[in-house]
A and B are shown apart, each in its own frame.
Chain A
Amino acid sequence: NAGVTQTPKFQVLKTGQSMTLQCAQDMNHNSMYWYRQDPGMGLRLIYYSASEGTTDKGEVPNGYNVSRLNKREFSLRLESAAPSQTSVYFCASTLNGAANYGYTFGSGTRLTVV
């Protein structure tokens, strides 16, 4: 059982470049999330998808877009990368929302924007 799979694991971008971070889960979970983790800032929610066909902004959505491609896959796109987006990005999923279910996290994508 793979759980939550993220690709790529590492990426270096130049300012202004675009890229898509991929995430897939095989647990038949309904809800999926994108977080970023920065030193001293903890985990901050970028976007989430409560169920297939819906997406909503989290705490720090500016500069990002998401697509819930199907029940399994939830991608995060940076249209024009900025150095402030240097971070570790985690995808997570839950069975149904986050009020009563813990997250299953992926192993992360470490992104550096130069």
Chain B
Amino acid sequence: GENVEQHPSTLSVQEGDSAVIKCTYSDSASNYFPWYKQELGKGPQLIIDIRSNVGEKKDQRIAVTLNKTAKHFSLHITETQPEDSAVYFCANAGGYQKVTFGTGTKLQVIP
């Protein structure tokens, strides 16, 4: 919970390039770090998550890395495609119901 800073707020990449979004957090009790993708007019959708006992997790073209010492975690999308264009939110959770969301990154993949 508590503060989560997300950068950048907007990101444009050429199709096929990689995209990286970074979040930093302040609550050292955080132990769960999900990422959500929100397409226009839809609700956010969970795309990948990582827990504090793991440093990296990969699912096809997306991966998340976590550095608990530095208190930051990042989303990596490789071989971007136009359908990856959306707003991405990071979040972190500490206590039972304490979830804090980042302010979002609007990703545009240019064909």
Contact = CB atoms under 8 A, between A and B. Distances in A.
Contacts of B8: none
Contacts of A98: 32, 93, 96-99
Main secondary structure of the interface of B (DSSP, over half): loop
A97 B43 contact: no
Interface stretch (A41-49, A60-68, A70-78, A79-87): A41-49
A105 interface: yes
B31 interface: yes
B45 A105 contact: yes
Nearest to B93: A99
Contacts of A99: 31-32, 93-98
A100 B51 contact: yes
A34 interface: no
Contacts of B93: 98-100
Contact of B44 (A40, A48, A50, A103): A103
B98 A90 contact: no
B46 interface: yes
Contacts of A97: 96-97
A101 B45 CA distance: 13
A50 B96 contact: yes
Given A100-B51, A102-B46, A106-B43, A42 B97 contact: no
A100 B32 contact: yes
B103 interface: yes
* Interface-central residue, B41, B101, B104, by most chain A CB under 10 Å: B101
A19 to B, nearest CB: 20
Interface in B6-59: 31-32, 34, 36, 41-46, 49, 51
Interface of A: 4, 31, 40, 42-43, 45, 48, 50, 56, 90, 92, 97-108
16 contacts: A31-B97, A42-B102, A42-B104, A43-B89, A98-B99, A99-B31, A99-B95, A99-B96, A100-B32, A101-B32, A102-B36, A104-B46, A106-B43, A107-B41, A107-B42, A108-B43
